[in-house]
Amino acid sequence: MDKLPKIALPVVFILIALVILISKSAVTIKSGEAGVLYKTFSGGVVTDKPPMGEGFHVVAPWNDVFIYEVRQQEVFEKMQVLSSNGLEIKLDASAWFEPKREFLGKLHQEKGTEYIQRVLLPTIRSAARSVVGRYTPEQLYSSKRDAIQAEIYEETKKIVDGQYIQLNEVLVRDVTLPATIKEAIERKLKQEQESLEYEFRLVTAQKEAEKVTIEAQGKADANRILSASLTDKILQDKGIDATLELAKSPNSKVIVVGGGDSGLPLILGNN
Residue at 12 is within a domain? no
In this structure, which amino acid lies at residue 179? A
Measured from the Cβ of residue 76, the count of other Cβ atoms closer than 10 Å reads 11
Are 162 and 112 within 8 A, CB to CB?
Answer: no
203 and 217 fall within a common domain: yes
Q: Is the dihedral of CA 199, 205, 208, 214 positive or negative?
A: negative
Per 3-state DSSP, the chain is made up of helix, strand and coil in percentages (nearest 5) of: 55, 25, 25
pLDDT of residue 76: 94
Residue at 95 is within a domain? yes
Spatial distance between the Cα atoms of 266 and 248, rounded to a whole number of angstroms: 13
**In sequence order, what are the residues at sequence separation of 6 or more whose Cβ sits closer than 8 angstroms to the Cβ of residue 189?**
142
pLDDT of residue 260: 47
* DSSP, res 87: -
Query: How many domains does the chain divide into?
Result: 4
pLDDT of residue 1: 46
pTM for the model stands at 0.61
List, in sequence order, every beta strand (DSSP E) within the chain.
Answer: 26-29, 33-39, 44-45, 55-58, 64-69, 73-82, 88-99, 165-176, 253-255, 266-268
DSSP 178-208: -HHHHHHHHHHHHHHHHHHHHHHHHHHHHHH
Residue 135 three-state SS: coil
Residue at 135 is within a domain? yes
pLDDT of residue 187: 67
Spatial distance between the Cα atoms of 32 and 15, rounded to a whole number of angstroms: 34
Residue at 1 is within a domain? no
Q: Find, among 170, 189, 163, the residue nearest to 91 by Cα.
A: 170
Structural domain harbouring 82: 73-177
Residue at 93 is within a domain? yes
116 and 39 fall within a common domain: no
137 and 161 fall within a common domain: yes
Measured from the Cβ of residue 190, the count of other Cβ atoms closer than 10 Å reads 10
pLDDT of residue 18: 62
83 and 135 fall within a common domain: yes
Averages of pLDDT over each 10 residues, the chain, 271 residues? 58 65 79 94 91 90 92 94 85 95 95 95 94 85 80 95 95 81 63 65 77 79 68 62 63 51 52 51
Residue at 5 is within a domain? no
Could you tell me whether strands 64-69 and 33-39 are parallel, antiparallel, or unpaired per DSSP bridges?
antiparallel
